[in-house]
Structure 1
Amino acid sequence: MTNDRLNAPPSASTSVGSALVETRFIPRQYEPNYAYPLLVLLHARGGDEDQLVRAMPALSWRNYVALGLRGPEVVTRRDRPAGFGWGRDFESEDRTGLRARPQRPEAEVVRRALFDPDHDELGRLEEGIFGGIRTTRSLLHVHSERIFLVGVGEGAALAYRLGLSFPDRFAGVVAINGWLPPGFRPLAWVKSCRELPILVVHGAWNTRHPIAGVRRDVATLRSGGLRVAFQSYPCTHRLNSQMLGDVDTWLMNRCTSQAGL
């Protein structure tokens, strides 16, 4: 791999067979003969594929290859585009504390049932993510058993959904300032998920998604026998260096099979 390639800034692209725009983080002094852990980065609502890639140097310059993906939904605020989201299946049930989770109009539900029976937003989203992983593995040396999902906010809800639905495909889930997706029954796959490690980190002063709800999510997962590590921090919904440092330690411990956070 050329030095120009290693030092080039991340660039967005769309992989073959994927509907998701993506970008990649290549570690400093990339070693082609070393199988790197892969972090699949799922941004918060209103973010994009670069949101967590920009935070990778604060996590680690050297330890990981990372794949940043862009959610398929355009988020609008005041009638203007304001980033992207992962869809209403992953929105917080009550982001503002005032409004309920939106529902599709009945006419739209009927139209899709009659004229687009093969339409499956979640299936297409999953295929886009797995397509991005396949492309990354074809371009860079990735350890097949060290693929982690790392999500923030709404992206954490998607990370939960993917990790708990396909526990054999991932080495762990990191949920940052996030929540379990509404209507999702995490314990439906409890037997197959008990070996899937999960790290939950959350800002104690997060008013967008108060920590009380996160504690309930953690209790739900632990009641099914899942291995969930939880840590709160004196911060809001913003990432901070202590949080990212603990995430790095937890990931590295999973890769080396040591006891972690």
Structure 2
Amino acid sequence: MTQNKPSTELGLIHQVRVPQQEPPAAGYPAIVAIHGRGSNAGDLIELAPYFGADWLTITPQAPLELGFGYHWYEVLQVGDPEPQGFGRSIELLREFIGKLPEAYQVDPQRIFLMGFSQGAVMSFALGLTEPERYAGIVAMSGYIARQTQREANREQLANLPILITHGTRDAVIPVSFGREAREWLGDTPAQLAYHEYPMGHQVSDASLNDVVHWLHQHKHTGSDRSAS
């Protein structure tokens, strides 16, 4: 069942889909699905049924309302988020995610970041700077902000599972940005999977199938990768 939650609980308005079964002893594996520019918390929650019955899926809503929908930051140009708003949203998401284990019986070792467009940029910003907190990253049609590249904790990326999906016909964030992210991550010890599709700025059936397969493959991965 999907529930709407006000911002007073965790700091951000959000929707959550909680598994019907009781959580494992360590807690539910969780997907934090972060929406794109001009969208809202109700967007990516629609993907939750595809992930499987044992995942907890939670979709935070961005704090900025700029003309249409909600935004995580203002776009100066593709690749360079406005620094102040970008930084504030990163901190809000960090605090939000930090409260999930207690609020929703989430396994703190199995929190996966997923984002589309701006949400992918935010997922990279969180996961590449504090990789020890996350079990993996799914970045759909996004890019690694230059600020994130400067601040990334490269040494701690060892064995961090990352999936990038991007459309070759993307006119919003061209596929060159996905390829740049692939090249940048190729110089790190991250465990990278990269896929392109003949699509625009979207999630297609084919890309979603790859995401679901990847999640199933890595569901038992923990953020403590010291033994890997």
TM over 0.5: yes
In structure 2, relative to structure 1, the CA distance for the partners of 1:150 and 1:103 (3 Å cut) is: closer
In structure 2, relative to structure 1, the CA distance for the partners of 1:16 and 1:56 (3 Å cut) is: closer
Q: C-alpha separation between the residues in 1 aligned to 2:10 and 2:24?
A: 27
CA contact (8 A) 2:113 2:136 kept: yes
Q: Spell out the pairing of 1:1-261 with structure 2 (5 A cutoff).
A: 7=1, 9-16=2-9, 18=11, 20-27=12-19, 29-33=20-24, 35-57=27-49, 59-76=50-67, 82-88=68-74, 91=75, 93-94=77-78, 121=85, 124-185=88-149, 188-256=152-220
> Can you list the C-alpha shifts for 1:12-66, whole angstroms capped at 9, x where unaligned?
3114462x21121123x33234632111111000011111112212x22413101
Q: Secondary structure at the match of 1:183?
A: helix
Q: C-alpha separation between the residues in 1 aligned to 2:147 and 2:99?
A: 31
Q: CA deviation at 1:248?
A: 1.6
> Can you list the C-alpha shifts for 1:59-104, whole angstroms capped at 9, x where unaligned?
224131011111111121xxxxx1011113xx47338xxxxx6869
In structure 2, relative to structure 1, the CA distance for the partners of 1:66 and 1:102 (3 Å cut) is: closer
Letter in structure 1 aligned against 2:185: L
Letter in structure 2 aligned against 1:10: Q
CA contact (8 A) 1:92 1:179 kept: no
Unpaired stretches in structure 2, ≥5 consecutive residues: 222-228
Q: CA deviation at 1:186?
A: 5.3
In structure 2, relative to structure 1, the CA distance for the partners of 1:245 and 1:36 (3 Å cut) is: farther
In structure 2, relative to structure 1, the CA distance for the partners of 1:171 and 1:211 (3 Å cut) is: same
Q: C-alpha separation between the residues in 2 aligned to 1:223 and 1:150?
A: 22
Moved more, 192-201 or 182-191: 182-191
Q: C-alpha separation between the residues in 2 aligned to 1:103 and 1:125?
A: 11
Q: C-alpha separation between the residues in 2 aligned to 1:70 and 1:206?
A: 24
> Can you list the C-alpha shifts for 1:160-211, whole angstroms capped at 9, x where unaligned?
0100111110001110011111433257521112232211011222111111
Q: CA deviation at 1:124?
A: 4.3
CA contact (8 A) 1:45 1:153 kept: yes
Q: C-alpha separation between the residues in 2 aligned to 1:31 and 1:245?
A: 27
Unpaired stretches in structure 1, ≥5 consecutive residues: 1-6, 77-81, 96-100, 105-119
Q: C-alpha separation between the residues in 1 aligned to 2:211 and 2:53?
A: 14
Name the residue aligned to 2:225.
Answer: none
CA contact (8 A) 2:129 2:148 kept: no
Q: Secondary structure at the match of 2:77?
A: coil
Give 1 or 2 for the bigger CA radius of gyration: 1
CA contact (8 A) 1:38 1:146 kept: yes
CA contact (8 A) 2:129 2:152 kept: no
Compute the RMSD of aligned alpha carbons: 2.5
In structure 2, relative to structure 1, the CA distance for the partners of 1:178 and 1:238 (3 Å cut) is: same
Q: C-alpha separation between the residues in 1 aligned to 2:82 and 2:30?
A: 35
TM-score normalised over the length of structure 1: 0.75
Q: C-alpha separation between the residues in 1 aligned to 2:150 and 2:192?
A: 13
Q: C-alpha separation between the residues in 2 aligned to 1:213 and 1:33?
A: 38
CA contact (8 A) 1:15 1:22 kept: no
